[in-house]
Structure 1
Amino acid sequence: MTHDLDHATLKAKQRAIRGGFPENMGLRVHRAISWIGRAESCGEDHDARFLFLWIAFNAAYASEEQFQLAAPSERAAFADFFERLVRLDGEARIYRALWQKFHGPVRLLMQNRYVFHPFWQHHNGIAGHADWEARFTAAARSFAAAFQQGDCARVLSFVFDRLYVLRNQLMHGGATWNSGVNRAQVRDGAAILGFLLPVFVDIMMDNPQADWGRPFYPVVD
């Protein structure tokens, strides 16, 4: 079951089957599981939990090719990673995880304007974003349609588009640690990453021969 996937379960599985992992894939999984474990120790510190889980996400997906690009598009890299995961997810674990949480953190995140990039573009006076509310409404409809159609990769792209805004707010000093303002998106973002990342890593371990890309920072003696 999805909710049983915690650090201890993932680590035990990794230790049991890692002998069959290709080097690059094994390194990704090892690093991602280590950060999932660190995130679990954060308790109610949602800021720290979110950031450690985002590091786990980076460990799982970020590739050498992405870092070589002059202007890497993380959203494009996300989409490629999601499509690969969904294609290999024969038991629809990701979709079921999202469905189980749809009326909780995912729904609340998608309704939160503070993690919608055009809102901040307009708020900061950048031309061409006065219609952010119409875009917000349209995005909500598109997300609902993708969800109803079972287009899991597109659903993930919508969700991580919002999470990426939150990631930028935290990483670039756009928020105060443990602030009383706009806590909902940090709490919900950490919850979403907390139930999705273990599923992602588990699918990777079930498909070690898939092309997960070469990490940009391999272990160097």
Structure 2
Amino acid sequence: MGLRVHRAISWIGRAEACDGDDDARFIFLWIAFNAAYADEREFQSIPQGERAAFLDYFGRLTALDSERRIYKAVWQRFSGPVRLLLENRYVFNPFWQHHNGIDGFADWEDRFKASARSFAQAFQAGDSARVLSFVFDRLYVLRNQLVHGGATWNSGVNRAQVRDGAAILAFLVPVFVDLMMENPAVDWGRPFYPVVA
């Protein structure tokens, strides 16, 4: 856990130095998030998948979050940016599947509406793990757009989701790290890249 936290904090610090560069800030914060949650299981021959790994990690975090810091952050501080992110079709994976001609996604608009209803139900029920799952599904699409070259650096198009995504990560990832540090006895998984001298 110490190595995970150390690495995550180092990337959070690097992200804080990105004044005015939301693309870089988002990417560095995503690296911090990866440092905190990624488990060696993801690198084994049959990985469990990003979504399952997120949900497992979020479940552990929210179970330990007795003060409901995560829920309060999403509800009080970022309800606007989170809502806008979830209403943005450009960070909804089935939208891109459809526009890339992949069969089975012609109903992306119905899926988009269903996702919005499911998010609202999770939010009203106070199910922080599911709420985070919805938020990070969208952030993962944004991450893919940036990391895989599907966006132009500092573009004038679709800036709001990058700015809001970076702001959401900048607030949540340190909360995740704090919860991990407050619960060092929990099995947070083994980093796949240990320090080898």
TM range (shorter): over 0.9
Aligned residues: 197
Q: What amino acid is aligned across from residue 104 of structure 1 in structure 2?
A: G
Q: What amino acid is aligned across from residue 53 of structure 1 in structure 2?
A: L
Aligned to 1:174: 150
Q: What's the TM-score once normalised by structure 2's chain length?
A: 0.98
1:187 counterpart (136, 160, 163): 163
5+ residue gaps, structure 1, are 1-24
Q: What amino acid is aligned across from residue 149 of structure 1 in structure 2?
A: A
Residues 1-221 of structure 1: pairs in structure 2 closer than 5 A: 25-221=1-197
Write the distance in 1 (CA, Å) between the matches of 2:4 and 2:17.
21
Q: What amino acid is aligned across from residue 91 of structure 1 in structure 2?
A: E
Write the distance in 1 (CA, Å) between the matches of 2:47 and 2:99.
25
Write the distance in 1 (CA, Å) between the matches of 2:79 and 2:61.
23
Q: Percent identity?
A: 78
Instruction: Describe the shift of the 1:63–1:71 C-alpha distance in structure 2 as closer, same or farther (beyond 3 A).
Output: closer
Q: What amino acid is aligned across from residue 194 of structure 2 in structure 1?
A: P
CA RMSD of aligned residues (A): 0.9
Secondary structure of the residue aligned to 1:188 is helix
Tell me how far 1:75 sits from its aligned partner: 1.1
Write the distance in 1 (CA, Å) between the matches of 2:45 and 2:53.
11
Q: Deviations over 1:154-205 (max 9, x none)?
A: 0000000000001111111000000001111111110110110010000001
- Is the contact made by 2:78 and 2:168 (CA closer than 8 Å) also made in structure 1? no
